[in-house]
Chain A
């Protein structure tokens, strides 16, 4: 019996993530991922011709996408994009800090994680920008944006800066609602509002 390629792919990514959870990135091998996901090594190499490197990269991208999909589900619908960001930023930051696997890997093998997360982040930026664009379009149609905003450039800008803020907030305290509101109305959306 063969299952569709995307189901096998999902299983392999989940199995690889399980290996990382258990043993860290450095000790995750193609053999281990095959065992954890119940497929053969040959299947893994067929799905990920780049082998271990590609498998690790794709697993990081998979978990990042899962993280944000979960976040979107928790947030539910909001009145407008400003309200969405005001709720999303503190929640995302809280979930980054509470993400046990991420925090463990950051503590013990940051040198292995950082190149993977950096290389994969353009997928996440694309994913977030695609998520933000219709929210921005709805705001524009409701007259909540200034005229002439380029929605693609704006969606990517907000996606990049939001991702940047939740990974390293710098001096901004994302637990403080007044600070988050200021960030959203000025730095993030100051150029977009009427």
Chain B
């Protein structure tokens, strides 16, 4: 049986995709989640608390999917392409996120840039890093995670992207040409500095 916090998070996303964040109340969420107001308020006394919980859940869910997709690949380049395309598709297909970007952009964009953007990049970078431990040190893997989070923010969430990262072919040629060499060279020069044999 799914717990109240999970059901409430899903119900909130359904409500947002239907009529936005500002018009959604905790009462709407309770109705959508088919639980009583009293039960919902025991977990979330304010809408803000539920929004924070839902963002945490969605970030964890989407980054885990992307890392799992990368885990099925045999080379670093393929892992990067898998992680980026899966993330891009999750973001583009996210009904609640896309509703907010289209109709209440101020609710999302304030969390994406400047100071709050810093914190988000670090969180997503940390979540992505394990996808690259097979090929580089933990520090370099975190760097790679940070950088791919940054690439996704610019090319998927900002207006007028010139490259469609949901498309495997377009993503592959862009990533292999411009992005992966920068991640690989970071790892390589680290090994060279440390005097690893055979590098």
Seen from chain A, the residues whose Cβ lies within 8 Å of a Cβ on chain B are 106, 110-112, 114-115, 117-119, 121-122, 150, 153-154, 156-157, 160-161, 163-165, 167-172, 182, 185-192
Chain A residues in 8 Å Cβ range of B169: none
Partner of B153, one of A112, A164, A188, A191: A164
Which of chain B's residues have a CB closer than 8 A to the CB of A163? 154
Contact A190 B181 (CB under 8 A): yes
Q: How many cross-chain pairs have Cβ atoms below 8 Å apart between A and B?
A: 103
A interface SS class: helix
* Interface bits B176-193 vs A (CB < 8 Å: 1, else 0): 011111111110010000
| Min CB–CB distance B168 → chain A (angstroms) | 17
What is the interface of chain B, defined by CB distance below 8 A to chain A? Answer: 105-107, 109-110, 112-115, 117-118, 121-122, 125, 142-143, 146-147, 150-151, 153-155, 158-160, 162-163, 174, 177-186, 189
Q: How far is the CB of B169 from chain A (nearest CB, A)?
A: 14
**B180 x A191 contact (CB < 8 A):** yes
Q: A153-B174, A161-B150 are in contact. Are A188 and B109 (CB under 8 A)?
A: no
When the two chains form the complex, which single residue of A111, A160, A164, A170 contacts B106, counting CB atoms closer than 8 Å? A111
Q: Assess whether A170 is in contact with B182, with CB atoms less than 8 Å apart.
A: no
Q: Closest 8 interchain pairs by CB?
A: A190-B182, A168-B117, A114-B109, A191-B178, A170-B121, A191-B181, A111-B106, A186-B186
